[in-house]
């Protein structure tokens, strides 16, 4: 196993049970140094736009896990907004969709987006998470 860790990961999901479970797995398995969470796409877009204003590169996540179905701003809207600003960051940010939807339309749409690395179906398996973090270092 690689001893280097992802510095910062981000979970955007309104499901507290899922978020807390993934946070616990990440902490227990020591998959990254820090983790930030948001309950919807709007909160996270506001965060990223504030980073651009402040030029604070230390708070830019390496990996984003985003749900599709959320209130206020869903995952699709987030991706659309994020694609407009992501090139302004001096860092590669890897985006994964994590959804309970097994609708082939959602999966095909996600896989057609260059900005999305992969589509994961909930519940995410621990080994799957470990592989993502280990491959991203």
pLDDT tens-place string over residues 81-126? 999 999 999 889 999 999 999 999 999 999 999 999 999 999 888 9
21 — phi, psi (to 5°)? Answer: -65, -45
Q: How far apart are CA 49 and CA 22, in angstroms?
A: 25
What pLDDT, on a 0 to 100 scale, did the predictor assign at position 83? 95
What pLDDT, on a 0 to 100 scale, did the predictor assign at position 136? 81
- Structure tokens, 62: 């390496």
What pLDDT, on a 0 to 100 scale, did the predictor assign at position 58? 81
Number of H helices, E strands in the chain: 5, 5
Closest CA to 9 of 64, 52, 58: 64
What pLDDT, on a 0 to 100 scale, did the predictor assign at position 38? 97
The proportion of the chain whose per-residue pLDDT surpasses 70, expressed as a percent, equals 98
Supply the pTM of this predicted model: 0.92
What pLDDT, on a 0 to 100 scale, did the predictor assign at position 137? 77
What pLDDT, on a 0 to 100 scale, did the predictor assign at position 3? 63
Whether residue 123 is preceded by a cis peptide bond, meaning omega within 30 degrees of 0, is yes
Closest CA to 70 of 102, 97, 108: 97
């Amino acid at each position: 196993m690689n001893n280097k860790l992802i510095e910062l990961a981000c979970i955007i999901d309104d499901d507290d049970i899922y978020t807390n479970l993934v946070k616990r797995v990440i902490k227990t398995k020591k998959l990254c140094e820090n983790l930030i969470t948001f309950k919807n796409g709007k909160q996270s877009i506001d965060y990223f736009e504030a980073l651009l204003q402040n030029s604070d590169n230390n708070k830019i996540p390496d990996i984003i896990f985003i749900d599709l179905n959320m209130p206020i701003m869903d995952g699709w809207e987030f991706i659309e907004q994020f694609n407009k600003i992501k090139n302004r960051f001096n860092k590669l940010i890897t985006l994964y969709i994590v959804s309970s939807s097994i609708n082939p339309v959602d999966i095909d749409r996600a896989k057609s987006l260059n900005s999305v690395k992969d589509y994961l179906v909930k519940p995410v398996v621990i080994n799957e998470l470990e592989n993502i973090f280990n491959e991203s270092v």
